[in-house]
Structure 1
C-alpha cells in the first residue's frame, strides 16, 4: 500500500500534509503510516488464510512501541532478540505467549525475564545456550519451551551482512548436529521440545532460496518425528523482500510465499510461525530531510542534507538503495544533475546516495527518502554528538510524535564525570 501520495502538489501521509508536519516537528524526522502498517499485515495474514499460523513481527525492524501496538491489535505476536525488545513487547502489552526469542547470544538476565514472563518459545542456537537455559529454568522452577535453529547452508542471494543461513554465518546449528541435540534435550528436566526453527536471511527476492530451505526443513522435521520428537511447530523465520528500486523486478508476493509454505508443510499438522519484519513496516515509513546546501566541486555535485548516517545507516552499512524525492517543490523545469547526496557527519562514508540523478535542489528544499520504515530509526545513534531524531506516526488526519527529538541536556546527561576530574 502506498500511503504517501501527492495532493495538490504536496506530499501527504494519509490525510496529513508532510509540510504541516515538518513545520511542527522540524526536519529531519521519520514518518510512519498506520494504514500502511495495517494493510501490510492484513495482506500477509490473508495470504495464509486456512493455515494454522502465528505471525510474530520481527521487532528488530522497527521497535517503536506505537508500531508494536498497531500490529499487536491486529493479532500479531513478536519475534524478539534482546531483553530490551522483550521489555518493549511487555510494555506494549503483547501477550508473552505470543513471543518467540531468537538470537545467538542470549544472556542469563534475558533468559530469566523471558522464563518468568512465560514466552512461547526460545529459538536455541547452540548446545551451550541449551545447557544454560536448562539450568536457569530449573533454578526458577520453570520449563523452557524450545526449538533449535537449523543452519541449512542455503544461499539466500541477499547482501552478505544480512545472510543468516550459510555455513559460514554465525547463526543456527549445522544439520549434522541437529539430531543429537534434540536427543540430548529431550532428557533435560528444565526443557520442553516444542518445535524447529530456520531463518536464512533478510531481503530475499528469489523464491528458489525459500524452496531450498523449506525442503530441508521438511526433511529434518519428518526425521525428528520418526525419532520420537514431538515437533508441534515449525518456525520458518522471515526474510520476504520488498522492492526498493522501482526498476528492479518484484520479489515473491505473500501469496507466492504462502503457497510455498503450504506445499512443504501443509500436511504436517503443526503450527507454522512466521517472522516478517521489513515487509510489514519498510514501505510504511519515510525519512524527511531538508537540504542544507548544494556544493559544487571540480568533478562533483554534493547535495548536503540535515540527515546523516547516524540517523539512517542503511546506505552506508548495506549499500542500500532508496528512492529520494521532493515533498512539495515541483520537479518540472529543474535541471537534472548527477550528485552525491550526503549528510553533515565527518566521514566520507556518510551518504544517502552516490552518483544519483536528481532534479537540482536549492537550500531549504525538503526531500524524503522512501521505504525507511524498517532498519532506520532502530539503528540510529548519536555519532558526532548529534541528537536522535523524532519519529512521527500518522492515522487518517492525525499525527503524533511517537519518539521526540533528543535534547542536548539528555545527551550530556548520558555521561558521568569521575570525582578526580571535579
Structure 2
C-alpha cells in the first residue's frame, strides 16, 4: 500500500492527523461536516486556553491587564471563555460592548477604542462603567466631555498616540504611521492632554498606542515605547499623572513560516525599559486579538468541482470570499490541508469559491491531490474570519462550532436563506 504523507497543521497539537484523518482535539472533521454541513468554522477550546496561558505568564507578578481585542472574533462563547480566564476586552463599537455584557464580561475591564465613537455609544459605555475611553482626536475629546457632562458622569480617558513607527506589516493593518487615520500625532499629544485636563467631565488615566497587527518583531514596539516615554516625561512636567500605559496588541501568529513573538518576552522588555526611565510603578494594558484566536480555528469546506484548464487548475469549494475575506482583502496566506490526504497525482490548484467575483479565492498555487467531494481545512481562520463574513450573493453565513475534547458545541447556528431578507419589505403594488 502506498503511504500518504500528512502535513503538520500550524495549530498542532490541537489540530492533528490521526489514522490519516484530520481531527480537532478528539473530533474528526468528517464527522463535523456530516453533522453540521459546510462551510463550517471550527474552534478548539484547548487552543484558546493555551493561547491565553502565554499571556497569563506575562501577567504573573505584574500590574498588567490583558484586554482581548474582540474585533478578531466576537462569538459569545469565545468572549465568555476569555472572561472566565480573567481577560478584559478592547472594544471598538457599542455593539461590541453589548456583546461583552451579554457574555458576562466585566465592564470595568473594558477599554473603548475606535476613531468614530457616536454619542449613543459614549452614553452606553459611561453607563456600563468602562475602564477608559481610548480617545483618538481633540474633536472626540470635546464630544465626550459634552456627553459625560450631560449625563452627570466623569469619563476616564486615555489618548491614543500615533508615534509614526513602521510596524513592518501589511499596510492595511498598519495603524501607527502618520498617514494612518488612527490616533493623535505624538507631537500634538501634549496639547491634547492639556485640553483633556481642562475640559469638564473628563479624567485622564492613561496613554494608549497601537501600531498595527501581525507584528513578529520586537523592535517596532520598543521604537514606539521610546517615543511614548518621551511623552510621559512631558506630561509629568505638566503635572499630568498617568496611571497606565496601553501598549496595544498586534502580536502575530504563524500562517506559514513566521516566528511569533512571545508575549512575556515583549512585556519583560517593555517593563525593563520603563523601570530604567523611572516608570516602574505605571500599570500596563495590552490589547491582543489575533494571537489569542487566530490559530485556534479553521474553516472547513468541501470541494464542489475540479476545473482544469491550460492556465490553471481550480478547486471550486463551497466556502467563498464572503466566508473568509482576508485572502481577497489583504492577499493573505492561509494554509490549506486535505482533511483526508489521498495518494495520486498532485497539481497546483487555486482554491476558489462560487461568488461571482474574480477576487473570490481562498488560496493560490497550492500543491494538492484532490477529488470532487474532498474536504479541505483552511488554517488560521480563528481571527478575522467569521467577524468579516458577509451575505454577498445572498449566501447564508456559516455555522460555528467549538470543540472541547470529544464534545462539540454549536456556538452559532447556520444562517438560513429566509433570514437574509426577513427584515426587508417590498413596495405596495
Asked if TM exceeds 0.5, the reply is yes
- Corresponding position: 1:301 with 2:310: no
Structure 1 CA distance, aligned partners of 2:240 and 2:203? 10
Distance apart, 1:221 and its partner CA: 1.4
Distance apart, 1:95 and its partner CA: 1.1
Say which of 381, 384, 387 aligns to 1:372: 381
Counterparts of 1:13-412 in structure 2, within 5 Å, are 13-245=24-256, 248-266=257-275, 267-328=279-340, 330-331=341-342, 333-359=343-369, 361-412=370-421
- Counterpart secondary structure, 2:249: coil
Structure 2 CA distance, aligned partners of 1:314 and 1:23? 26
Say which of 11, 15, 24 aligns to 2:22: 11
Distance apart, 1:39 and its partner CA: 0.9
Structure 1 CA distance, aligned partners of 2:244 and 2:68? 17
- Counterpart secondary structure, 1:164: coil
Unaligned stretches of 5+ residues in structure 2: 1-10
Structure 2 CA distance, aligned partners of 1:414 and 1:354? 37
Q: Deviations over 1:280-313 (max 9, x none)?
A: 0000001000000100112211010100000000
Q: Deviations over 1:335-390 (max 9, x none)?
A: 1211211000110000011222222x111100101110000000000000000110
Distance apart, 1:249 and its partner CA: 4.2
* Counterpart for residue 416 of structure 1: 425
Structure 1 CA distance, aligned partners of 2:374 and 2:367? 17
Unaligned stretches of 5+ residues in structure 1: none
Structure 1 CA distance, aligned partners of 2:58 and 2:138? 36
- Counterpart secondary structure, 2:82: helix
Structure 1 CA distance, aligned partners of 2:296 and 2:258? 20
- Counterpart secondary structure, 1:47: helix
Structure 2 CA distance, aligned partners of 1:316 and 1:397? 34
Contact 2:59 2:65 in 1 (8 A): no
Distance apart, 1:181 and its partner CA: 1.1
Contact 1:13 1:33 in 2 (8 A): yes
Contact 1:218 1:264 in 2 (8 A): no
Distance apart, 1:265 and its partner CA: 2.7
Distance apart, 1:21 and its partner CA: 1.1
Structure 2 CA distance, aligned partners of 1:385 and 1:191? 45
Structure 2 CA distance, aligned partners of 1:310 and 1:92? 26
Distance apart, 1:63 and its partner CA: 0.4
Structure 2 CA distance, aligned partners of 1:9 and 1:200? 42
- Counterpart secondary structure, 1:85: helix
Distance apart, 1:123 and its partner CA: 0.3
Contact 2:271 2:280 in 1 (8 A): no
- Counterpart secondary structure, 1:186: helix
Structure 2 CA distance, aligned partners of 1:69 and 1:283? 18
